[in-house]
Amino acid sequence: MTMTDKIKVAILGSGNIGTDLMIKILRTGERLEMAALVGIDAESDGLARARRLGVATCDTGVEGLVALPVFEHIALVFDATSAGAHRHNERVLRAARPDIRVIDMTPAAIGPYCVPVANLDEHLDALNVNMVTCGGQATIPIVHAVSRLARVHYAEIVASIASKSAGPGTRANIDEFTETTSLALEKVGGAEHGKAIIVLNPAEPPLLMRDTVYVFCEPADQQAIADAIAETVARVNAYVPGYRLKQEVQFEQYGEDGPLYMPGEGDRVGLKITVFLEVEGAAHYLPAYAGNLDIMTSAALATGERMASRLAGAAA
């Protein structure tokens, strides 16, 4: 394999996320080549679209994928199914090909949490990485940026997404969403304690994804923190063009001389930082208001590209 070769990939899940990711790979993939889209509904729009685009399809799930002749040439599998399904898919894939790479886009969290701008370099050789959640991909970079400059005692995020952009998989995994995001705020973001809330907004017309990040940290240079957050937003925006700050970062003092108290830790002194974010989708397959789904597919694509580069370099 040379540094210019592409690696073959498959996507498990022919729903909104899997189909959007397929289109992204076909349009902009630099080192990734679509080998197969796999679902369980032969009549799904995703499989029909894949066939029209010349991509091999399979409607018998992961068992069908490992039976395809092309499977032996696939180096990377994206799983866009559900948390429960991923646990089964991982077992089947690992039994068939112990060395295959898997990027998990569900909240199953079998492998380490991965947020490209925060910790991708640490996990380029992992066999299974977990892309946390849409809320995690949007907010963890902000908490991570603060934690590099100051000790973060507590981080809380509220992810508000259009109800229409929450499909069956998202709705079935609400509990996993909050648990996985909360843990990732700590393990990747660097917060001592993390909390995540998701809101399904039924507004019509549907609103773009909005994320609010609250960070309670020790006293620190406010301008340095604001600059670090701006830099981080720009880095995420490089692979999620619709990701942006909605207004300037807000600072408030809590503790002895401030009117605020940190949740559960009223005797501490420091800064409360509030960050308002918006995520607009690229509308490759999903509507623009579905920024929550777009940030997941974009983050997974960025991760896959970096892993492909790693594999190409190792084989060169």
- Nearest residue to 141 via CA among 235, 37, 261, 13: 235
Residue 98 annotated as part of some ligand binding site = no
- Nearest residue to 229 via CA among 198, 193, 273, 188: 273
Give the model's pLDDT for residue 242.
Answer: 98
Give CA separation, 299 vs 52, 78, 186, 261, 311, in Å.
Answer: 26, 12, 19, 35, 18
Give CA separation, 292 vs 77, 105, 134, 240, 287, in Å.
Answer: 21, 12, 5, 11, 11
Tokens 């947020």 sit at which residue? Answer: 115
List, by residue range, all CATH 3.30.360.10 domains of the chain. 134-287
Region of residue 100 (left: phi > 0; alpha: psi -120 to 50; beta: else): beta
Cα gap 150→8, rounded to integer Å: 42
Tell me the pLDDT tens digit for each residue of 120-174: 999 999 999 999 999 999 999 999 999 999 999 999 999 999 999 987 777 877 8
The pLDDT-based confidence of 265 (bands split at 50, 70, 90) is low
Tell me the pLDDT tens digit for each residue of 198-226: 999 999 999 999 999 999 999 999 999 99
Give the model's pLDDT for residue 261.
Answer: 66
Give the model's pLDDT for residue 2.
Answer: 47
Cα gap 37→284, rounded to integer Å: 17
| Catalytic residue (choose from 58, 114, 134, 217) | 134
List, by residue range, all CATH 3.40.50.720 domains of the chain. 7-131+295-315
> Do residues 86 and 17 make contact, with C-beta atoms less than 8 angstroms apart?
no
> Do residues 12 and 58 make contact, with C-beta atoms less than 8 angstroms apart?
no
**Backbone Cα Rg of the chain:** 20
Residue 119 annotated as part of some ligand binding site = no
Residue 169 annotated as part of some ligand binding site = yes
Hey, which CATH number is domain 134-287, 3.40.190.10, 1.10.10.10, 3.40.50.10800, 3.30.360.10? 3.30.360.10
Tell me the pLDDT tens digit for each residue of 69-117: 999 999 999 999 998 999 999 999 999 999 999 999 998 899 999 999 9
Positive or negative torsion for Cα 240, 116, 45, 33: positive
Give CA separation, 131 vs 128, 180, 186, 210, in Å.
Answer: 10, 10, 15, 19
The pLDDT-based confidence of 267 (bands split at 50, 70, 90) is low
Cα gap 78→22, rounded to integer Å: 10
Residue 13 annotated as part of some ligand binding site = no
| CATH number for region 7-131+295-315 | 3.40.50.720
| Collapsed DSSP state (helix, strand, coil) of residue 203 | coil
Cα gap 84→136, rounded to integer Å: 19
Residue 16 annotated as part of some ligand binding site = yes
134: annotated active-site residue:
yes
